[in-house]
Amino acid sequence: MPFLSTNPATGEVIAEYPTLTSGELEERLATAQAGYERWRRTPIAERAQLMTRAAELLEGEIPVTAEMMTREMGKTFAAAKGEASKCALAMRYFAENAARLLAPESIPTSGRRSGVRFDPLGPILAVMPWNFPLWQVVRFGVPAIMAGNVVLLKHAPNVPASAQYLEDLFRQAGFPEGVLTNLFVEVDTVGTILADPRVVGVTLTGSERAGRSVASLAGANLKKCVLELGGSDPFVVGAHADLDLAVAQAVTARIQNNGQACIAAKRFIVVRPRADEFLERFSAAMASVRTGDPMDPEVELGPLVSRAQRDQLSAQVASSVAAGAVVHTGAHELDRPGFFYAATVLSEVPGDSRAGCEELFGPVATVTVADDLEAALAVANDSPWGLGGSIWSSDDREIDRAIEALECGMVFANGIVASMPELPFGGTKNSGFGRELSVYGLREFTNVKSFHVS
């Protein structure tokens, strides 16, 4: 079956890409291995020059690249331009800083010289999702490549144009063949690829179910594994929150990427003294979100990525309302072509309902009232996930308490959870393990090699 690029705003098939044959897959694995043998010996200064060139090329065609992403997965054109710009920013950051962050470290011992160095491992398989079709790949791939590894990209089947764009971009920038290799293969081929001795590790961004499967395959083959899985991030509104800021950012946090982001705030937990006002203002703001053609610069919320995604979200909400959840706005599909769902706010959500215990991957928010900050933090931590979380308060004591107490990989105060090159990205609990970005992500797929000279 070919891979289809479909416009979720209209349901129109834009393009199709053929699946690799077994022979073509073998050729690409061999190319990646040969590319690694060359790339690992390429001086890091030369790697940096090529990465800077890739950033320049991307920056020169951001509108075209953004339109491709919008047409293929439905994110707003403004959001797609932001994603492309962010990719170029990360490329420049690691081009400028990788040499320093990967430099061997001296550690005093009984020896004349001793310490650690950070050597590349080899070809890394990247199993990537559709929601940020360029950024998810860049977030892992750029640090891995700057460390001397090469990337085998098995992208989501509904964003084939984005996958091919990345391979073409790296080729045009002058990278040796095999440094980033796109694989149009079905998901059941992942096990075969991981079993290949030339492939030394795997990273996956996706669902918890997919993570368990890939982790099992990686373990069976003794391959290094990094997982960035689902999340149901808490957005904690404290007693000293600036509600003007909190309400405005709550809307952005929930509808970013049409609500389809692992680090989007999904559970809004408000201390009782601020709860009524927050719920009223938040619901009104969500009700006024402009929904429509994602290419329209006035539109804030586009379609969900597919009919299946919209149907799943609709079923989750309907089941939760039937179980007792209260609807403040939305909770329905939109009667128009494409896969649209209204911005939605629910409260009094039963903990055992689907909205209470499942990740909602779409523009649906749940609001919970807690007696005080400690109770709010307890609600926030009562989750199988631990990706990100935020605290909204003007009191540093509340902020510091939340940073300490929240059981997640990233905590942001008075700002929505975001990824940036300087800070490590990743989660705890069922949200996965390992880190991307920063010095930690740069060294994730390296051999931390000790040396000791007597």
Do residue 199 and residue 246 come from a single domain?
A: no
Provide the domain limits for residue 116.
3-229+431-453
Catalytic status, residue 228:
yes
Of 202, 227, 223, 213, which is closest to residue 386 (Cα–Cα)?
227
pLDDT by position in tens, the chain (length 454): 789 999 999 999 999 999 999 999 999 999 999 999 999 999 999 999 999 999 999 999 999 999 999 999 999 999 999 999 999 999 999 999 999 999 999 999 999 999 999 999 999 999 999 999 999 999 999 999 999 999 999 999 999 999 999 999 999 999 999 999 999 999 999 999 999 999 999 999 999 999 999 999 999 999 999 999 999 999 999 999 999 999 999 999 999 999 999 999 999 999 999 999 999 999 999 999 999 999 999 999 999 999 999 999 999 999 999 999 999 999 999 999 999 999 999 999 999 999 999 999 999 999 999 999 999 999 999 999 999 999 999 999 999 999 999 999 999 999 999 999 999 999 999 999 999 999 999 999 999 999 999 9
Q: What is the pLDDT of residue 1?
A: 78
Q: What is the rounded CA–CA span in Å between residue 301 and residue 298?
A: 9
Clarify whether residues 214 and 341 are in a common domain.
no
Based on the fold, state whether residues 218 and 262 are members of the same structural domain.
no
Is there a single domain that holds both residue 100 and residue 138? yes
Three-class secondary structure of residue 326 per DSSP: strand
Taking a C-beta distance cutoff of 8 angstroms, is the pair 427, 388 a contact? Answer: yes
For residue 54, the model assigns a pLDDT of 98
CA angle 316, 322, 326 (to 5 degrees): 90
CA dist., res. 416 & res. 412, Å (int): 6
| Chain centroid, CA 293 distance in Å | 24
- Do 92 and 191 belong to one domain? yes
200 and 66 both lie in a single domain: yes
Same domain, 408 and 289: yes
pLDDT at site 161 = 97
d(CA 59, CA 174): 16
**146, burial (CB in 10 Å: exposed 0-12, middle 13-18, buried 19+):** buried
Tokens of 340: 């649209």
Beta carbons of 142 and 51 less than 8 angstroms apart = yes
What is the C-alpha separation between 42 and 45, in angstroms, rounded?
8
How far is it, in rounded angstroms, from Cα 412 to Cα 401? Answer: 12
- The total of other beta-carbon atoms located within 10 Å of residue 259's CB is 24
**Residues sharing a CB contact under 8 Å with residue 336, sequence separation 6 or more, in sequence order:** none
Pairing between β-strand 364-370 and β-strand 265-271 as defined by DSSP bridges: parallel
Token match 């992208």: residue? Answer: 155
Check residue 331 and give left, alpha or beta (phi > 0: left; psi -120 to 50: alpha): left
Asked whether residue 390 is domain-assigned, the answer is yes
CA 357 to chain centre: 21
The candidate with the shortest Cα–Cα distance to 233, out of 75, 93, 392, is: 392
Tokens of residue 304, six digits: 């969900």
Residues 135 and 7 placed together within one structural domain of the fold:
yes
Same domain, 257 and 367: yes
Number of separate domains in the chain: 2
- Tokens for 251? 């809307």
What CATH code is carried by the domain that includes residue 368? 3.40.309.10
Residue 191, domain CATH: 3.40.605.10
Q: Is residue 442 part of a domain?
A: yes
Catalytic residue chosen out of the listed positions 72, 262, 398, 444: 262
Same domain, 249 and 181: no
Cα(146)–Cα(129) distance, integer angstroms: 22
| Lookup: tokens for 41 | 């010996």
For residue 40, how many other CB atoms are within 10 A of its CB? Answer: 15
**85 Cβ contact list (under 8 Å, min separation 6):** 59, 62
Catalytic residue among 72, 83, 167, 228: 228
Concerning whether 408 is annotated as a catalytic residue, the answer is: no
| E runs forming strands in 229-276 | 233-237, 265-271
**Are both 292 and 375 inside the same structural domain?**
yes
Task: Kindly report the pTM of this predicted structure.
Answer: 0.96
Sign of CA dihedral 203, 207, 211, 214: negative
Q: Which of 287, 367, 290 is nearest to 331 (CA)?
A: 287
Do β-strands 12-17 and 113-120 pair in parallel, antiparallel, or remain unpaired? unpaired
> Looking up tokens 């709860």, which residue turns up?
275
Contact, 266 vs 230, CB < 8 A?
Answer: no
Residue 20 domain-assigned? yes
Closest CA to 235 of 35, 341, 390: 390
Closest CA to 258 of 12, 416, 73: 73
Domain identity same for 65 and 210 = yes
What pLDDT shows up at residue 451? 98
> Of 329, 322, 349, which Cα lies nearest the Cα of 289?
329
Taking only Cα atoms into account, the Rg of the chain, rounded to an integer number of angstroms, comes to: 22
User: Per the domain annotation, does 426 fall within a domain?
Assistant: no
Q: CB of 78 within 8 A of CB of 295?
A: no
